[in-house]
Amino acid sequence: MADAKKIAYIRDLVRYLQEMDTKFDDAPDIENEYFDLGYNSGGANEIIDADVVTYNLTAANIASGITLIQQLKNMAGNVAVTTGDYALTTNIFKRAPV
């Protein structure tokens, strides 16, 4: 039988991967909404810096977040993922006030 440390590790791994599965499931919806509502650069209702200043973000940060979501979608769909500094993107959002 596994010791307590191993059980805790397995439990944490299971929870982490369950959360990741949810992120994979949500990625297409978030991406579609961004483009469907015209929030993209050049879209009918483009997100601009003034829209996200409260979150200490820029419109470019939002676009980078969408790129990351697109790459998660690729990864989940067994499609090639483009190399990028996605940790930089997540770090930008990590401490944004919500």
pTM over 0.75: yes
Q: What digits encode the pLDDT tens for the residues 20-74?
A: 999 999 999 999 999 999 999 999 999 999 999 999 999 999 999 999 999 999 9
CA angle (60 as vertex; 55, 53 as ends), nearest 5: 25
pLDDT category at 1 given cuts 50, 70, 90 is: confident
Q: Rounded to whole angstroms, what are the CA distances from 28 to 2, 8, 24, 75, 89?
A: 38, 32, 8, 12, 18
CA angle (9 as vertex; 6, 12 as ends), nearest 5: 150
Q: Is the separation of the CB atoms in 28 and 80 below 8 Å?
A: no
